[in-house]
Amino acid sequence: MPTNPSFNWSRLQNVYYDIQTCYLPLSWSIENLYSNYRISFAPNTTLIAVASNSVPHPNLVEVYGLSGNKVTSVVYNSTPTDYISDFHFRREDLVLILNNGRFRYYIDLVGNFNEYRFTDELISLDDMTVNGKNNNESAVETGRMITNLENDEVEEIINIIETQTSDNYLVVRLEDKLILTNLETFQNYEIDISSCSSKGIEGLSINESGENVVIYIACQKTILVLKVDFGLSIFELVDQELTDGPFNTISISPNGQLAALYNSTHNKVFVVTSSFDQILLEYDTSNDSGSPYQVSWCGNDAIALSLKDEIKLIGPDQQSISFFYDIDEDDEFDLDNLLLKDSGKNNLSYTIPIIQTLSDGLRVVTSEKVQYLYRVPEKTVAMYQIGSNSPSSILADCIGKFVSNAAKAHANIALLKADGVLSMAMEDVLQVALDELDTSWHKKALKAVSFGKVYAEGTFDADKYVTVLNTVRALNQLRAPELGLFLTHSEIQYIGWKEVVKMLLRRNQHYMALRITRSLGLKDLMPLIYIHWCCYKIRKESNLSDIQLFKLIANKLLSTSNKKRNYISIDMIADVAHEEGRVILTNLLIDLEPSIANKIKKLVDFDEVELALVKAFQSGDYSLSLLMLMHIQDILPTSDFFEILNQNESKHYNSAIQSEIRDLQVEIPSDTIPIKGEVIGHTWVESLGKSHSKLMEKFLTHEDKTHELNLLKLKEFARTQLVAESEGEEYYNSYKKLLTKCLRRSIRTTTMKAIERELKILELQNRLGKTYLTNFYSEKSLTSILTKLIKMNQIKPASKIVKEFSIPQEKFWHLVLSTYSKAHEFDRLYEFVFGSLDVSTGKSPIGFEPIIDAGFANNAPKEHISAYIRNSVKYKYDEKIRLFIRNEDYESAAQEAYKNKDIEILRNLQQNVPNSDTKALQVIKTSMQKLGY
């Protein structure tokens, strides 16, 4: 091991690159990987899928970890008419594309998959290219069609030319169109490219940004940029009008800002901006050892060429550095071997490295080893470069000097403290530790920080050191050959720890995932681990009963909380239990769901609608209960629905199961209200049933609820019957018949009295209608009948009805007062109150106060209001005076004051009465003289 990591660095202009071996040797027994196998990498090269190219169509696709450990195998019995066309990864999910328009999406690493067709339910995107076709029909019309003799259906001939995947899309290139499949929703889109397919497409590259996708198409001598907007269902195909093609390879930098184009005909590599308006580099490969097998980006800063026994890194100004592989020398002259070398086929005497772009470097894979080529970070250069005087370098140097010359080490620390850069040096060293790949250099960097902490005297945050220490431990655990997840810290920052945890869960490394999330304080990711563990147990422990599995899962979920209550969603866990056919376990798990809305949704998804209804009512959520009632009313036959309306809280499991669940002491969060009696049915009757009269009538009949049924029929009859005068007799007969029928069936005294009263009112309506030759059936109550009679000035007949129906006189008087006041029939009101317009005294059962208020409110004649004031016995004399003044009857006010010998009020009146009211002034003056003033 070198005494300084910089001894292995290679300089390219003013930056350094290093290549480190990740795994050597590899666990697989693969030879000549590039020549003998078709290969596909997962993003970040955490998985490698290989298939032998010794047969036209592979039957076996093997998936390996980066260290060469086999993870899984996919077998497909390919035939000349049904075979594997291609395979790719979407994240770590394998996508197997078949030649007949189908593809398999593997959701895990144990062979579970869902199959889809990329030709089904295609949405044709509109061409918005300038001078484009601007229609969506051509893509459908250009395909060649045949008739399937097995089902007589017309089918399109599918000829797959190329396939690729991105973060969210599968792209399939056919002869005259592209098909893009969203791998989240599995919606298919088609794009017509018939205008350029005839020109000869060399290849394509995908760059996905947010909701939009950009596809770079190498077509003849130029590049076509296809911009797809799925939100607007449009695309635009723009010719960049290049002339240096054809380009056999298009490689887009990880940040999407640059593009590398390789022309094998002219042996040139071009680096251009993503807008294709500037050539940044033009490199001639004719002077290299041969044509490059691959052209890829090494991070965002350099281009890597895969050559025979060599990887060449090209930087700005065409400067380059090479990393070579050993060539096996032949001990003997072998003509056959020389011929093999010349042919370039199955040649085992040289190595062709397979390269894959990473966000921060380049992965290099051969049959024997896996390496990582990367640009050395600036802080690492500052710390380890020979002759560096950076604070981090001085701090790291203290470790070596401490043993041999402690005084020198102390002097260096004192220098860093004096310059105020000790904390900065420690933070830089921590960053170097995170970026470092070798465990021995990890230890030295962390040891340097630990040494600096002794002198920091509280100025350095020790939590940073602990966080970095835990992160480095996690990185080393991930990189272990048993796992083969060789990820750098910057890669993890790019993809996020959530994706790393998902990688561990795909490999069923639950304990490691839990340990890492706890050590790094990633509490938000812990539910993900518990959910996956529960799903894994359900699938694996087939010999356990539903109750045993439930105990296992419940205890695990409850262990995340100090309380006996689960806070983790069981959505995915219940789905797996349902898929495995474990009905009891599914329902038990749903009881643990913390969200009542999710709980109800899950039960409905699994056709447990009765249980969902009971749970909705138990939760006390009225809106949710009504929603469930509406759903059940829509989906069930009437008889079944009525049975459910009588549903009570029931035991969904036998007593033994109930006992075992009780022993677990699990708190079910939503079961707060017991459902007994007719709660569900009554709720429906008082809410939804009112809007469904026919169904309500059937339900009440079914329940033999005669009283409620009678009331319903009466209400429905009253609501629907709008009676005209010509229909009066018909209404009378129909309503009388219904009331008589209801009266015979009634058994409640109060109901019978109410119906008898309604019959009496009906007879009254009939009699009044005949007497006054007008329709009284539209007046549904005695109050409306009396109001109509009052408006007709039929006070005496109205008074007889009041006595006949024992209506209080007070109510009748208020009704007359309200009716006449609103109609401004003030003379009729006065005559009703006093018996005659000539009389000014009288008595009122409601008092005169309401009459006075109504007079003021409706602008009654002043003399009427004054008469009412004079007859009031409730108001005192001073209150009457104020009312007279309000009524502008100053004369009556003066008389009232004189009657009560109130000289002060008289004097005030004398000062405030308008001069125009001479009569009132004379009365005031006379009154004051009589009182001796």
At 72, the amino acid letter reads T
Angle at which helix 546-558 crosses helix 526-540, to 10 degrees, equals 170
Tens digits of residue pLDDT in 116-129: 999 999 999 999 98
Report if residue 637 sits inside a domain.
no
In a domain, 216, yes or no: no
Any domain includes 759:
yes
Question: Does 415 fall in a domain?
Answer: no
Instruction: Give the span between the Cα atoms of 849 and 856, in whole angstroms.
Output: 11
What pLDDT, on a 0 to 100 scale, did the predictor assign at position 197? Answer: 66
Distance CA 856, CA 581 (A): 80
pLDDT > 50? residue 30: yes
Dihedrals φ, ψ of 932, to 5°? 90, 25
Most confident of 348-352, 626-630, 891-895, 926-930: 626-630
Is 10 in contact with 18 (CB distance < 8 Å)?
yes
- Please give the single-letter amino acid code of residue 17: Y
CA 366 to chain CA centroid, nearest Å: 43
Task: Find the range with the poorest average confidence among 107-116, 307-316, 872-881.
Answer: 872-881
Q: Which DSSP letter does residue 714 get?
A: H
Residue 594 lies in a domain: no
Question: Is residue 105 assigned to a domain?
Answer: no
The secondary structure of 614-660 as a DSSP string is: HHHHHHT-HHHHHHHHHHHHHHS-HHHHHHHHT-----SS-HHHHHH
Residue of 715, 707, 709 whose CA lies nearest to 747: 707
AA identity, residue 685: V
Pair 524, 510: CB distance under 8 Å? no
In this structure, the number of other CB atoms found within 10 A of the CB of residue 210 comes to 5
**pLDDT for residue 678 is more than 90:** no
Q: What tens digit of pLDDT does each residue of 779-838 get?
A: 878 899 999 999 998 999 999 999 988 899 999 999 999 999 999 999 999 999 988 888
The pLDDT value given to residue 134: 47
**Both tokens assigned to 702:** 């079914």
3-state DSSP call for residue 267? coil
322 within a domain of the structure (yes/no): no
Average pLDDT on 554-580 reads 88
What is the per-residue DSSP string for 205-253?
A: EEEEETTEEEEEEEETTEEEEEEEETTTTEEEEEE----S---SEEEE-
- Amino acid identity of residue 715, one-letter, is K
The fraction of the chain above a pLDDT of 90, given in percent, is: 56
Give tens-digit pLDDT for 268-290: 999 999 999 999 999 999 988 88
Please state the φ and ψ torsions of residue 23, each to the nearest 5 degrees.
Answer: -140, 130
- The length of the chain in residues reads 933
Residue 519 in any domain: the answer is no
Q: In this structure, are strands 234-239 and 222-229 parallel, antiparallel, or unpaired?
A: antiparallel
Instruction: Please name which of 171, 179, 221 lies closest in space to residue 196, comparing C-alpha atoms.
Output: 221
pLDDT digits (tens, 9 = 90+) for 83-127: 999 999 999 999 999 999 999 999 999 999 999 999 999 999 999
Lowest model confidence (mean pLDDT) among 170-179, 314-323, 625-634, 775-784: 775-784
Residue 171 DSSP SS3:
strand
Number of domains in the chain: 1
Mean pLDDT calculated for residue range 319-343: 61
Say how many C-beta atoms besides its own lie within 10 A of residue 269's C-beta.
22
Q: What pLDDT, on a 0 to 100 scale, did the predictor assign at position 723?
A: 44
Upper half-sphere CA count for residue 294 (Cβ side, 13 Å): 21
Six token digits for residue 476: 């080393």
Provide the domain limits for residue 769. 723-778
Q: Which of 406-410, 527-531, 728-732, 798-802 has the highest mean pLDDT?
A: 527-531
Structure tokens at 635: 């989906």
**731 — pLDDT class (breaks 50, 70, 90):** confident
- How far is CA 779 from its chain centroid? 55
Q: Can you read off the two tokens belonging to residue 464? A: 């940073």
| Mean pLDDT, the chain, integer | 87
